[in-house]
Chains A and B, each alone.
Chain A
């Protein structure tokens, strides 16, 4: 183990660059996932015929597949049928597909956690179903959903490391690049320990925030 050789300014800068890519990709994916998941969650909650069933099957399928397979499939299999994305786009699309399925369940259970009496009260005060959803159910459900959404973002940050298989220049990838240079075998342990700590610091901070929010909402 060679700590001083491993933690040169060049290496540290390279790792930070990788971590920025991780954060960017995860942030873009969580925004898209949230929008798509909200649409899926509401359609399934409102039980819109046919559409709700089709989305239900899709969500079940995606949730039960490994994310690695989805990343691989988007980047390497789709070009065979003429659909080709850049590495970063493949990573964002794969993560968005997977996390939308996960998040849509969070949103659906957030919606179902709102008491039925609220809808009945809204409807009998003369609001339409959509008005009831928009003004009564969603605002209450959203508040309850924030902590699990933050947890999902933590998963997403961890999952972004899987994009290493399509050579996305994120943190894991950059760590491997440092370790694979000639003589890099002395750096492997120090670099991996540092990388683990970088993930830990960001994710642990987020998990504390999630817990605080949870205490506030309950």
Chain B
């Protein structure tokens, strides 16, 4: 049976980790949503050089492990004179990595908005940027929300790799607790429960939204 005194005795550390996991995931979600949208607009803008920048970014960062980005920021950048702590390096790494995936979701959302909408807006005198901002993006967002939810679940799970660069989130706290109590099994089962508290409700929410969207189409 699980020894729940592990949980009660180390409650503060678990909560600290829980907070940091949520904080880094939320910051990374906002950051990568903004940056990912910018990349998506780059990829469909009528300017060739911007298309290229967007495509190269997305293809490169989708195809390398998140861990290498985190290590480069945490262990590589100090050799260039740029010092980042574990939390900063980890959060930036999550943003760099997740932006590539979110930009694909946003791009699919934008492309799903009928071309006639853009043409109508452009011929009513709106600039390309105004068309995007007021006509296309507000309609695209509906399609983008479920994949965005999935990316948030991935962020919560992926934030565990921050423990490797000492960022103070759930996995890291679990490592500390287990080093202090000499207990491994129970410590990690409890930390798994903390993750599930975040990810399971999210995954049900995303499922629900996906079903509703499928029905409305």
> Shortest beta-carbon distance, A148 to chain B, in Å?
14
Contact call B161/A188, Cβ cutoff below 8 A:
no
- Report if A73 contacts B (CB, 8 A): yes
Query: Please, which residues of chain A bring their CB within 8 A of the CB of B171?
Result: 66, 68-69, 72
Q: What separation, in Å, do the CA atoms of A159 and B69 have in the docked complex?
A: 13
Q: Is the CB of B79 within 8 A of A188?
A: yes
Q: Determine, out of B27-35, B59-67, B116-124, B129-137, the stretch whose residues face the partner at the interface.
A: B59-67
- Whether the Cβ atoms of B68 and A207 lie closer than 8 Å is no
Interface residues of A in 60-79 (CB under 8 A from B): 60-61, 63-69, 72-73, 76-79
A195 at the interface (CB under 8 A from B): yes
Interface residues of B (CB under 8 A from A): 59-60, 62-69, 71-72, 75-76, 79-80, 153, 156-161, 163-164, 171, 178, 183-185, 187-189, 191-192, 195-196, 199-200, 203
Which of B59, B60, B64, B160 makes the CB contact (< 8 A) with A158?
B64
- The one of B68, B79, B184 that contacts A1, using a Cβ cutoff of 8 Å: B79
| A195 CA to B71 CA, complexed, in Å | 11
Among A29-37, A38-46, A138-146, A160-168, the stretch in contact with B: A160-168
Asked whether A179 is an interface residue with its Cβ less than 8 Å from the other chain, the reply is yes
In the complex, identify which listed stretch (A8-16, A119-127, A129-137, A197-205) lies at the interface while the others stay far away: A197-205
Q: Which residues of A contact B (CB under 8 A)?
A: 1, 60-61, 63-69, 72-73, 76-81, 154, 158-159, 161-162, 164-165, 172, 175-176, 179, 185-186, 188-189, 192-193, 195-196, 199-200, 203-204, 207
A67 vs chain B, min Cβ distance (A): 7
Shortest beta-carbon distance, B118 to chain A, in Å?
25
| Given A63-B203, A64-B157, 18 extra CB contacts under 8 A | A1-B79, A61-B196, A64-B153, A64-B196, A66-B159, A66-B171, A68-B163, A68-B171, A69-B171, A69-B195, A73-B188, A77-B187, A158-B65, A162-B65, A162-B67, A188-B75, A192-B72, A196-B72
B1 to chain A, nearest CB (A): 12
User: A54 → chain B, closest Cβ, in Å?
Assistant: 17
B105 nearest CB across to chain A (Å): 15
Contact of A66 among B65, B68, B158 (CB under 8 A): B158
Q: Which residues of B contact A159 (CB under 8 A)?
A: 65
Chain B contact residues, majority secondary structure: helix
Whether A189 contacts B203 in the complex (CB less than 8 A), given A64-B157, A73-B188, A158-B65, comes out as no
Chain B residues with CB under 8 Å of A200's CB are 60, 63-64
| Contact yes or no, B184 A172, CB < 8 A | no
Closest to A208 in B: B59
Closest A residue, CB atoms, query B72:
A192
Q: Establish whether residues B184 and A158, one from each chain, have CB atoms under 8 Å apart when the complex forms.
A: no
7 contacts between A and B (CB under 8 A): A64-B195, A65-B157, A77-B187, A80-B185, A188-B79, A192-B75, A196-B68
The verdict on A81 contacting B71 (CB below 8 Å), with A1-B80, A68-B160, A165-B164 known, is: no
Residues in chain A near residue B79, CB distance under 8 A: 1, 185-186, 188-189
Q: Which residue of A lies closest to B97 (CB)?
A: A158
Cα distance, A69 to B161, chains bound together (Å): 9
Contact A64 B199 (CB under 8 A): yes
Chain B residues lying within 8 Å of A196, measured Cβ to Cβ, are 64, 68-69, 72
Q: Which of A172, A176, A195, A204 contacts B63 (CB 8 A)?
A: A204
